[in-house]
Amino acid sequence: MQVNAATFSESNSHAAYSRLAAARAQLITDQIPTAAHSKVITADRAAVADAEAEVVRIEAEVSRAGAMQAGENASFLRSGRFMDVYA
C-alpha cells in the first residue's frame, strides 16, 4: 500500500498560511497609533517572522517529497518492474 504524504503536507501548509495571515493581521492591528506599544509590535514582528519561516520550511518539504516521488516513479518505470507487474 502506498501512502501519499502530500495530503498531510497540504494540511500543514494550509495551517501555516493561516497562522501567517493571523500574525500579519495582528501586527497591522497593533500598529494602530492608539494600540501601538514597542514590545507588542516587536513580538508581533517575531511571530510573523516565525510563521514565514514555517511556511518556507513546509514548502521545501513538499517540494523535496515531490521530487523524491518523481524520482521513485522514474526509477520504477526504467527498471522494467512496471512491465513485470502490469504485463
Domain assignment of residue 40, yes or no? yes
Domain assignment of residue 49, yes or no? yes
Q: How far is CA 36 from the centre of its chain?
A: 31
Q: What domain range includes position 61?
A: 6-86
- pTM equals 0.57
Domain assignment of residue 11, yes or no? yes
Domain assignment of residue 1, yes or no? no
Q: First vs last Cα of the chain: how many Å apart?
A: 20
Cβ contacts of residue 31 below 8 Å, gap of 6+? 41
**40-49 long-range CB contacts below 8 Å, 24 or more apart?**
47/23, 48/20, 48/23, 48/24
- Tell me the pLDDT of the chain averaged across its residues: 75
pLDDT higher than threshold 80 for residue 50: yes
Residues 41 and 37: their CA atoms lie apart, in Å, by: 6
Q: Give the total number of structural domains in the chain.
A: 1
**Cβ count near 12 (within 10 Å):** 16
22 — pLDDT class (breaks 50, 70, 90) = very high
Domain assignment of residue 38, yes or no? yes
